[in-house]
Amino acid sequence: AEITEMIHTASLFHDDVIDEADTRRGQPAAHHVFGNKMAILAGDYLLARASISLARLRNVDVVECMSTVIEHLVRGEVLQIKDSRTGVTDMEGYLRKNFYKTASLMANSCKSAALLRGNVTPAVVDAAYCYGKHIGVAFQLIDDALDFEGSAASLGKPALADLNAGLSTAPVLFAAESLGHQLIPAMARKFKEPGDVELALRCIHEADGVNRTKKLATIHAEKAMDAVMGALEPSPFRDSLVHLACRVVDRSS
Ligand code: FPP
Ligand code: MG
């Protein structure tokens, strides 16, 4: 968990520089306080400390899982930068990017926890990966829905950040399924013309894009629950995992 948290925090230090975000978790983003160079180096340092802790586990399978996460985080960010340049993506590409930028960290961290526990069947290791993957996809879908619903105060980071960065996330993509003739030109312009953001918000409202995103997140949370219910014996720990899957889709911040 410590290693996962260090990798996650390192990626956010870097992400806030790339996204030029003002705030993170309700506080000024690190690059605002310490400058870009220090924020990037702080991310690198955390990544280095995480690598040392990982090596000290003396488990090559876990090293492979967690190194794969770092590769996937970078891959996800590159896909996102490409999307933000062209302004256009489809649901399949969006979900693939979400796996790389969010779900892989959770999938491989859960798998690593199962591997480190030892004495577990391959089915339990697979279930742990499957649980983390679906929790990750659900988490990112809710994150993308909240970007439209939340305020900067409730989110602790800027609202409507994705649209303003020219990114089309699930609520926009659902709206584009039925209202593409209106939305696709604005998506391709990365919502930069006056009125584009308002147009996107109107289309999302008309197509119920935010609720459809939340429903898709719920389907993934249920898949996460099914994974642990099918592979683990009843226990308070299994209950906690099921509870966590509910919390991921119920959150409002
Ligand atoms: C947040 O996404 C960002 C990520 C999930 C990953 C960022 C990854 C990198 C910058 C690659 C470098 C990786 C390492 C390990 C140093 P978001 O911008 O959609 O979410 P937000 O609204 O919380 O900022
Ligand atoms: Mg960001």
Residues 181-193 have pLDDT tens digits of 999 999 999 999 9
Question: What digits encode the pLDDT tens for the residues 79-118?
Answer: 999 988 887 789 999 999 999 999 999 999 999 999 999 8
Categorize the per-residue pLDDT at 58 as very low, low, confident or very high, splitting at 50, 70 and 90.
very high
% the chain with pLDDT above 90: 83
**Count of positions (residues) in the chain:** 253
Over range 138-150, report the average pLDDT. 92
At a CB cut-off of 8 Å and minimum separation 6, what does 30 contact? 13, 16, 24, 38, 39, 42
Q: How do 27-28 and 23-24 pair as beta strands? A: antiparallel
Kindly state the tokens that stand for 155.
Answer: 């989110």
Burial class (CB in 10 A: 0-12, 13-18, 19+), 43: buried
The pLDDT of residue 54: 98
Output the furthest CA–CA distance in the chain (Å, rounded).
60
Is the distance from the beta carbon of residue 221 to the nearest atom of ligand 1 less than 6 Å? no
Q: Is the pLDDT of residue 169 over 90?
A: yes
Confidence of residue 199 (pLDDT cuts 50, 70, 90): very high
Q: What angle do CA 110, 112, 115 make, to 5 degrees?
A: 115
Question: Whose alpha carbon is nearest atom 5 of ligand 1?
Answer: 101
Which whole number is the average pLDDT over 22-33?
A: 93
- Cβ of 102 below 6 Å from ligand 1: yes
Residues with Cβ within 8 Å of 101's Cβ and at least 6 positions away in sequence, in order, are 72, 73, 76, 77, 79, 80, 140
Q: What pLDDT score was predicted for residue 251? A: 84
Report the C-alpha gap between 72 and 104 in whole angstroms: 7
Q: If we measure between CA atoms, which residue out of 249, 87, 60 comes closest to residue 166?
A: 87
Does the CB atom of residue 18 touch ligand 1 within 6 A? Answer: yes
CB of 135 within 6 A of ligand 1: the answer is no
pTM of the model: 0.92
Q: What is the mean predicted confidence (pLDDT) over 145-172?
A: 82
Ligand 1 nearest-atom number relative to CA 8:
15
Cβ(47) to ligand 1 under 6 A?
Answer: yes
19 alpha carbon – ligand 2 mean position (Å)? 5
pLDDT of residue 84: 83
Closest CA to 233 of 111, 113, 120, 117: 120
Closest ligand relative to 15 C-alpha? 1
71: tokens are 């590769």
Q: By C-alpha distance, which of 151, 156, 184 is closest to 168?
A: 184
152, pLDDT greater than 80? no
Q: What amino acid occupies position 69?
A: V
Q: How confident is the model at residue 155 (pLDDT cuts 50, 70, 90)?
A: low
